[in-house]
């Protein structure tokens, strides 16, 4: 068996060692131009040249949940693209989103500002029923986030392309349910895959449908959000603010207004990081399954783009 590792910006040796331990005797190498054909590829934002050269692959494994970068490439025909199901990311995402929701709901940002000025202040407690949370995208990460928020007694709404059923979550689906979902939400969390249908989905026309005083949390992709529309709706008072972890250009350019806006919290794409050991174990298990002719979870539908 021959496995090629082609992951931009990733320290390769620990991954090579991990796959070497999982498959003793296998050839596990970092890809370089002109490399011999491999059986499997482990990738993150690989160049088009990699795909053009590696035409005999039996599987392409993406070391993350989002595959939008891969979907922009010309892929070898008939080769399954497999994304990570979880690999430790869902609990991180649940932590991050829960923290962002609670920080806004409890007005901890306001307390932080007061303390920085030496003020000892109190705010009137808010009612959870006045802050329904809408989660866009109910895949592995979205479902985990929804369940976590429900544990804090927030009303939780969920929206997905196809119908889902999650205990404690009021689920909407499809185009028919989208505007109803937005109108039922005051805090909006984006966990959608990035596809042509979801590009710019958080724009003036959708964000304006949120309940007054709405709040936006984007932990999916920067291209889901129209930056200027978000700022305009915050400045108009319709939205109370936002917590943003992903951006159209990363790192976020120093001149971008998100850095300086008093009602926008920025974090450096750290809501859910790939955990190496868990990812290696999951990918190795799926490679073994493919070798045995067994089905695997996480195969991407190229038509849907996720």
Contact 89, 66 (CB under 8 A): no
Q: Tens digits of per-residue pLDDT, 202-225?
A: 999 999 999 999 999 999 999 999
Q: Tens digits of per-residue pLDDT, 242-288?
A: 999 999 999 999 999 999 999 999 999 999 999 999 999 999 999 99
CA angle 242, 245, 246 (to 5 degrees): 110
Residue 85: predicted pLDDT: 85
DSSP state of 6: E
> Strand order of the sheet with strand 133-136?
170-173, 156-160, 133-136, 187-190, 214-218, 239-244, 264-266
What are the phi and psi torsion angles at 121 (to 5°)? -135, 160
The whole-chain average pLDDT of the chain stands at 97
Residue 119: predicted pLDDT: 97
| Averaged pLDDT for residues 117-140 | 97
Whether 153 shows a pLDDT value over 90: the answer reads yes
- 163-171 long-range contacts, CB within 8 A, separation 24+: 164/138, 166/138, 169/135, 169/138, 171/138
Contact 134, 188 (CB under 8 A): yes
First vs last C-alpha separation in the chain: 27
2 given a catalytic annotation: no
d(Cα 114, Cα 121) in Å, to the nearest integer?
A: 7
| Averaged pLDDT for residues 33-44 | 97
Out of 144, 161, 186, 221, the active site residue is 221
Q: Tens digits of per-residue pLDDT, 77-91?
A: 999 999 998 889 999
* DSSP-assigned states of every residue in 9-47: T---HHHHHHHHHHSTT-EEEE--TTPPP-SEEEEES--
Neighbours of 60 (CB within 10 A): 26
Out of 2, 209, 269, 276, the active site residue is 269
CA atoms within 13 A on the CB side of 88: 11
106 given a catalytic annotation: no
Q: Pull the structure tokens for residue 148.
A: 């976590």
Contact 134, 140 (CB under 8 A): no
Q: Tens digits of per-residue pLDDT, 51-73?
A: 999 999 999 999 988 899 999 99
Question: Coil, helix or strand for 56?
Answer: coil
């Amino acid at each position: 068996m021959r496995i090629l590792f082609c992951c931009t910006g990733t320290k390769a040796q620990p991954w090579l060692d991990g796959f070497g331990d999982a498959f003793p005797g296998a050839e596990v190498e970092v890809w370089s131009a002109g490399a011999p054909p491999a059986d499997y590829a482990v990738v993150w934002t690989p160049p088009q040249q990699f795909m053009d050269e590696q035409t005999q692959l039996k599987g392409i494994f993406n070391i993350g949940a989002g595959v939008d970068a891969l979907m922009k490439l010309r892929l070898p025909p008939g080769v399954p693209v497999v994304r990570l199901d979880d690999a430790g990311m869902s609990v991180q995402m649940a932590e991050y989103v829960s923290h962002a929701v609670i920080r806004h709901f409890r007005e901890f940002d306001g307390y932080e500002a007061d303390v920085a000025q030496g003020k000892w202040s109190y705010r009137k407690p808010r009612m959870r029923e006045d802050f329904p949370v809408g989660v866009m995208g109910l895949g592995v990460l979205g479902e985990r986030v929804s369940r976590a928020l429900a544990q804090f007694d927030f009303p939780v709404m969920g929206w997905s392309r196809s119908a889902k059923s999650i205990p404690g979550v009021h689920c909407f689906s499809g185009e028919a349910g989208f505007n109803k979902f937005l109108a039922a939400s005051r805090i909006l969390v984006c966990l959608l895959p990035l596809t042509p249908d979801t590009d710019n989905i958080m724009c003036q026309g959708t964000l304006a449908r949120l309940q007054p005083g709405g709040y936006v949390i984007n932990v999916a992709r920067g291209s889901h959000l129209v930056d200027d529309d978000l700022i305009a709706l915050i400045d108009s008072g319709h939205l109370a603010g936002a917590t943003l972890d992903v951006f159209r250009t990363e790192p976020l350019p120093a001149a971008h207004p998100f850095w300086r806006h008093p009602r926008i919290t920025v974090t450096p794409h750290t809501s859910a990081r790939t955990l190496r050991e868990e990812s290696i174990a999951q990918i190795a298990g799926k490679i073994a399954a493919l070798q045995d002719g067994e089905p695997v979870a996480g195969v991407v539908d190229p038509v849907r783009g996720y």
